[in-house]
């Protein structure tokens, strides 16, 4: 039961934080293409890790989000009725980069496999 509640809360926080960042945070350091990819709320509801993906300067955008952390937390507290609003911890989401890296490795293996098949086919013809 607690895991389902935690999961629902994480999803709701993801939507609310995305909306707040998109519409209300007016920091020039923040890239226009900021995406909240995931939120993990601890079981005691004291902390929420907010995973951020940015097209542009990630470090500068993370600094802007960290400086706006109090405002974002206050707005989350207003929109989601909780006894305690979790402390927000913004982190870079590296899953996209890892996915691209894994995809490139798979493509390299496929290319090598095709090369090996061509060499085998040529040697069978002789």
Is the pTM value of this prediction over 0.85? Answer: no
Q: Does domain 2-93 match CATH 3.30.300.20?
A: yes
Q: Which residues contact 3 (CB under 8 A, 6 or more apart)?
A: none
Residue 49's pLDDT is 95
Q: Where are the domains of the chain?
A: 2-93, 94-126
Residue 31's pLDDT is 83
Written as one string, the DSSP assignment of 3-50 is HHHHHHHHHHHHHHHHHHHHHT---TTS-S-EEEEEEEE-TTSSEEEE
Residue 33's pLDDT is 86
**Rounded average pLDDT over 49-61:** 89
Residue 119's pLDDT is 74
Per residue in 57-78, pLDDT (tens digit) is 888 989 999 999 999 999 999 9
d(CA 77, CA 85): 6
């Amino acid at each position: 039961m607690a895991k389902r509640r935690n999961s629902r809360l994480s999803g709701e926080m993801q939507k609310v934080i995305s909306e707040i960042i998109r519409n209300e945070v007016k920091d020039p350091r923040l890239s226009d293409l900021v995406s909240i990819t995931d939120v993990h709320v601890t079981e005691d509801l004291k902390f929420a890790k907010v995973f951020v993906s940015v097209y542009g300067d990630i470090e500068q955008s993370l600094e802007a989000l960290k400086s706006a952390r109090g405002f974002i937390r206050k707005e989350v507290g207003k929109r989601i009725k909780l006894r305690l609003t979790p402390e927000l911890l913004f982190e870079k989401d590296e899953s996209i980069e890892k996915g691209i890296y894994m995809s490139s490795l798979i493509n390299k293996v496929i290319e090598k496999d095709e090369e090996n098949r061509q060499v085998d086919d040529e040697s069978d013809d002789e």
